[in-house]
Homo-oligomer: A and B are copies of this chain.
Amino acid sequence: MKLLEERIQKDGRVLNEDVLKVDSFLNHQIDPELMQAMGQEFARLFANEKIDKVLTVETSGIAPAVFAGLALHVPVVFARKNKSLTLPDNVWTADVYSFTKQTTNHIMIDKRFLTAGENVLIIDDFLANGQAVDGLLTIAQDADLNVVGAGIVIEKTFQKGRQLLDERGIHVESLARIKAFVNGQVEFL
C-alpha cells in the first residue's frame, strides 16, 4: 500500500536492525484518515472471503481493526491482555510471548462474542515473530472458528512470523512488507 509505505519512510523511526517505531501515526499518535484507508484496503484484499467478524488484540490492533470492520460491515472483537476484575471467567485464552517486552501475556476473549463456525479475519499492526496472531489462532481453533486470513499493517519479512503463518495455511495480506532496515532506512520487499 503506497500511502502507508510513504508514511513509514517519512515518519517511521528505525531504532536498530530489528525495531521500527511508528508511534507518530499508528500506535500512540494515530492518523484516522490513514486508518480509514487501511481498513478499506483490507476489505478490498479480502473481498472474496465471507467474513463475519474481525479479531484483533489490544491495544495497537484496535484502530486498524475497527476501520476494517467498518469497511466490511462486521463487528470487531479485540482480545484483552490483562484479566480485569470485572471480566467474566467464561473466556477463551492463549499465551502470547512478547519479544519486545520479554514478557508473556495472557490474551482472552469472552466466549459470548465468538460463535462456532464463524468466519473471522484477524487484523494486527505488526507481524514480526507472529506470536500475537498465533495466540488468536489458538483461540480461533479452541472456539471452532474458521480463520479466513490475517491482515497485517506492517510485516517484517526477515522475522519468522510470516513463515509460521504460511506453514499453517493462513492467507496473509500485509499492507507494507519490510525486507530490512539498512543504515537506519526502511527497505521494502
List residues of A whose CB falls within 8 A of some B CB. Answer: 15, 19, 21, 23-25, 28-33, 35-36, 58-59, 62-63, 66-67, 69-70, 73, 75-78, 80, 84-86, 100-102, 109-110, 112-113
The residue on B at minimum CB distance from A30 is: B76
Q: Nearest 3 CB-CB pairs, A to B? A: A32-B70, A32-B69, A30-B76
On whether the beta carbons of A85 and B100 are closer than 8 Å, the reply is: yes
- In the complex, 14 of the A-B residue pairs with CB atoms within 8 angstroms, ordered by the A residue number, are A15-B86, A19-B86, A24-B112, A25-B75, A28-B110, A30-B75, A30-B76, A32-B76, A59-B80, A62-B62, A62-B63, A66-B67, A84-B101, A85-B100
On whether the beta carbons of A35 and B66 are closer than 8 Å, the reply is: yes
Chain B residues with CB under 8 Å of A76's CB are 29-30, 32
Chain B residues with CB under 8 Å of A23's CB are 110, 113
Q: Give Cα A101–Cα B82 distance, bound, in whole angstroms.
A: 11
The residue on B at minimum CB distance from A62 is: B62
Give the distance to chain B from A186, nearest Cβ to Cβ, in Å.
17
